[in-house]
Amino acid sequence: MNNTAQLHQLNPHAIALCALGRWIASRHWVPATGGNFSIRSGEHSALVTASGKDKGELSPQDLLPVSWQDGSLTCTGTPSAETALHARLYQLDPQIKAVLHTHSVQATVFSRIISEDSYLFQGYEMQKAISGNTTHTAACPLALFDNTQHIPELADKLSQRWQQQPLHWGLLVRGHGLYVWGRSLDEAKRHLEGWEFLINCELERLKLTR
Q: Residues in the site for Zn ion, rule: CB under 5 A?
A: 177
How far apart, in whole angstroms, are the C-alpha atoms of residue 178 and residue 15?
A: 23
Residue closer to Zn ion by CB (options 82, 187) is 82
Residue closer to Zn ion by CB (options 63, 133) is 63
Q: How far is the CB of 10 from Zn ion (least distance, A)?
A: 29
Residues 6+ apart with CB under 8 A from 31: 103
Residue closer to Zn ion by CB (options 78, 131) is 78
Residue closer to Zn ion by CB (options 127, 174) is 174
Task: Return the exposure string of 115-154: e unless at least 16 CB atoms fall within 10 Å of the residue's CB, then b.
Answer: eeebbebeebebbebbeebeeeeeebebbbbeeeeebeeb
Q: How far is the CB of 13 from Zn ion (least distance, A)?
A: 22
Q: How far is the CB of 85 from Zn ion (least distance, A)?
A: 9
How far apart, in whole angstroms, are the C-alpha atoms of residue 114 and residue 17?
A: 31
Sign of dihedral through CA atoms 146, 148, 154, 157? negative
